[in-house]
A and B are shown apart, each in its own frame.
Chain A
Amino acid sequence: MHIAPSTFGGAIEPAMHIPDGFMSPAVSIILWIAAIAGVGYALWRVNRELDERKMPLMGVLAAAIFAGQMLNFAVTGGTSGHLMGAALATILLGPWASIVVMTAVVSIQALLFQDGGLLALGANLVNMALVGSFVSYAVYRIMQRLVGTRRWGALVSGFVAAWLSIVAAALFVGLQLALSGTSPASLALPAMGGIHLLIGLGEGLITVGALALIAATRPDLLGATGGARGGSNRGVVLAGLAIALLLAVISPIASGNPDGLEWVAEQLNFLDAAQDPAYNLVPDYVFPGVANEKAATIAAGVLGVLIVFGVALFSGRLGRRKDAVG
């Protein structure tokens, strides 16, 4: 993650690649298993659902996202907004192809440019490819039902989906750092969540700009997430919602009352033989507790509202296939 939180100054970017050395081996391995399972399943779905054009399509679009991450726009001072791309890929290709595309981008960034570690690659894939795609998809589909599928509706949905995909991915990074004992949950989660609430806006804006151009020149390309596909990907929406729910629940709890997380962290750190088992996350002593909880609560609140909406809307529509056009 090329992020130096604003308290330390420096350029802020939404690239959240964790290098090696920051997560405990146990956390790394668990996330590798999750990554392999998730990416493997995505490959299987892509094989089933896309035709033979899929390989050149995904390859070149992965290159477009990779190159797209180079694009930036100045915000203020030394900060700039960047693109992660999971939301854009998901809206254009659907969640499974997006996972494959983001896997390519994140893996090669790690392997060739050391943007993110090799052992940490599992975690980075989970955060950016899996969480990024699932949350984008879930939010986009839910928003579509809220604001409709006309062009401006797609843009608003795209904005919110992109924004929240960044927040969710960032919270996962914070969670991983906390579980590894590298950064206390009371700091990692609010810091990551809070800062990316802002940074995510950049992702949202860039995604909207891209969608606007595509909608104007090749509206046929926006069909992937609408229409009949919706039925078979209900599971993804539920998965995305589940992730959001998990984060919404964990973030404030972990920030304000980290004992449960601490216990898990201790269990997962058993491989760090010499580590002091009485590792103590001391939020109130280190940083004022109130500010932490506020930031985490805001992030959780936004996610929570969306979850409530989503569950309400979706439960109303389960069983009824809407013939929405993307």
Chain B
Amino acid sequence: MHANFIDPFHARDSLLHHVDPRVKLVLAVAFILTTALLPPAAWPGYILVFALILAVAIASALGPFFAIKRAFLVLPFVLAALPVLFTTPGEPWLHVPLGRWALTATAAGLARFASIALKSWLSMQAGILLAASTPFPQLLMAMRALRVPRLLVGVFGLMWRYLFVLADEALRLMRAREARSAALAGAGGSSVLWRAKVTGYMAGSLFLRGYERSERIYDAMLARGYDGEVRTLPLPPMARSDKAALLVGLAIVGSILALEIWVG
């Protein structure tokens, strides 16, 4: 499930792409928090939230279905919430006989299940649009602005930089293994244990290459004056339009919440 190492950033000349990454990160989190704070079965609230994220999707020039499509990836996990159908008290809605036992789904349970699925699906879209409209180095800057410790951000940056290098390496190792397995298949096949061991060797190999690479990188850093302190360029100033966007965004999610509390 983790084979997707393609950079999620999609370059576009859109309104969303031009918004300061700090603003986008904060608003994405605010959006997800708002969604989380909406109670179950708060359908008007969910519709407003959906309208909001759809508007953002359109403002990203990525198309209205870009995030919607990708957010369906959350579906498998939604199954983990299935029990909610049967454990929420309320009016019975559906009887499911299971051998000697019978499960009763309630209407309230269905509403709750649907709410969880919806909230999850909506929240994921915010993350998708954030990653698609913001180059990773800018997300790092946003994290520094939000006071994430510099060492941690430095580690994030290095990890991302070498992720592609090591992922290519991992793919190569897997292809080599496939080639070898094909040869073995004729000779009686391979056991789970053997396969696990080989996978372990591949993981170990990635680690070793990583270690050795990191030693050379350290030398390269030393050669340019690295002294153990993490130093970076200062944060760029935020434009007035970006500050305005931040306020507007917070106001919108705030009012959705306020509306729900008032009405609900």
A and B: interacting chains: yes
Contact indicator B196/A205 (Cβ below 8 Å) = yes
Contact indicator B80/A182 (Cβ below 8 Å) = yes
Contact of B151 among A19, A25, A55, A275 (CB under 8 A): A55
CA distance A57 to B218 in the complex (A): 8
Residues in A with CB closer than 8 Å to B251 are none
Contact indicator A2/B1 (Cβ below 8 Å) = yes
Q: Report the nearest A residue to B202, measured CB to CB.
A: A71
Check A37 for interface membership: any CB of B closer than 8 A: no
Q: Report the nearest B residue to A288, measured CB to CB.
A: B101
Closest 7 CB pairs of A and B: A209-B200, A59-B158, A21-B120, A213-B204, A52-B228, A210-B204, A20-B123
Where the two chains meet, the residues of B that have a C-beta atom closer than 8 Å to any C-beta of A are: 1-5, 8, 28-29, 32-33, 35-37, 39-42, 70-71, 73-74, 76-77, 79-84, 86-90, 101, 103, 108, 116-124, 126-128, 130-131, 136, 139, 149, 151-152, 154-163, 165-167, 169-171, 173-174, 192-193, 195-211, 213-215, 217-218, 221, 226-228, 230, 261, 264
Least Cβ distance of A161 to chain B in Å? 14
Contact indicator A10/B204 (Cβ below 8 Å) = no
Least Cβ distance of B184 to chain A in Å? 13
Check A303 for interface membership: any CB of B closer than 8 A: no
CA distance A88 to B4 in the complex (A): 23
Q: List 21 A-B contacts (CB under 8 A).
A: A1-B77, A19-B120, A22-B116, A47-B151, A52-B228, A53-B214, A60-B159, A63-B159, A63-B165, A67-B206, A68-B206, A100-B155, A103-B152, A108-B159, A109-B2, A111-B127, A113-B2, A115-B2, A117-B124, A207-B200, A271-B37
Contact indicator A206/B196 (Cβ below 8 Å) = yes
Q: A69-B2, A117-B124, A210-B203 are in contact. Are A55 and B158 (CB under 8 A)?
A: yes
Residues in A with CB closer than 8 Å to B42 are 274
Contact indicator A64/B199 (Cβ below 8 Å) = no
Q: A105-B159, A184-B87, A279-B88 are in contact. Are A56 and B127 (CB under 8 A)?
A: no
CA distance A186 to B166 in the complex (A): 41
Among A43, A62, A83, A119, the most chain B Cβ lie within 10 Å of the Cβ of A62
Residues in A with CB closer than 8 Å to B131 are 111-114
Among A21, A28, A72, A271, the most chain B Cβ lie within 10 Å of the Cβ of A21
Contact indicator A22/B3 (Cβ below 8 Å) = no
Least Cβ distance of A50 to chain B in Å? 10
Contact indicator A13/B1 (Cβ below 8 Å) = yes
Residues in B with CB closer than 8 Å to A21 are 35-36, 74, 116-123
Interface membership of chain A positions 107-129, coded 1 if the CB is closer than 8 angstroms to chain B and 0 otherwise = 11111111101110000000000
Contact indicator B155/A59 (Cβ below 8 Å) = yes
Residues in A with CB closer than 8 Å to B32 are 20, 117-119
Contact of A56 among B5, B103, B122, B158 (CB under 8 A): B158
Contact of A51 among B35, B201, B221, B228 (CB under 8 A): B228
**Stretch from A73-81, A136-144, A238-246 that touches the partner:** A73-81
Residues in B with CB closer than 8 Å to A250 are none
Contact indicator A111/B210 (Cβ below 8 Å) = no
Contact indicator A272/B40 (Cβ below 8 Å) = yes
Q: Binding site of B, secondary structure by majority: helix, strand, loop or mixed?
A: helix
Contact of B169 among A67, A82, A279 (CB under 8 A): A67
Residues in B with CB closer than 8 Å to A273 are 39, 261, 264
Q: Report the nearest A residue to B226, measured CB to CB.
A: A52
Check A189 for interface membership: any CB of B closer than 8 A: no
Among A52, A58, A108, A275, the most chain B Cβ lie within 10 Å of the Cβ of A108
Least Cβ distance of A100 to chain B in Å? 6
Residues in B with CB closer than 8 Å to A261 are none
Check A282 for interface membership: any CB of B closer than 8 A: yes
Residues in A with CB closer than 8 Å to B127 are 20, 110-111, 114, 117-118
Contact indicator A20/B120 (Cβ below 8 Å) = yes
Least Cβ distance of A291 to chain B in Å? 12
Contact indicator A52/B230 (Cβ below 8 Å) = no
Residues in B with CB closer than 8 Å to A8 are 79, 82
Residues in B with CB closer than 8 Å to A306 are none
CA distance A207 to B203 in the complex (A): 8
Check A46 for interface membership: any CB of B closer than 8 A: yes
CA distance A183 to B112 in the complex (A): 12
Contact indicator A25/B37 (Cβ below 8 Å) = yes
Contact indicator B207/A92 (Cβ below 8 Å) = yes
Q: Report the nearest A residue to B130, measured CB to CB.
A: A111
Check A31 for interface membership: any CB of B closer than 8 A: no
CA distance A113 to B127 in the complex (A): 8
Residues in A with CB closer than 8 Å to B226 are 52
Check A286 for interface membership: any CB of B closer than 8 A: yes
Check A218 for interface membership: any CB of B closer than 8 A: yes
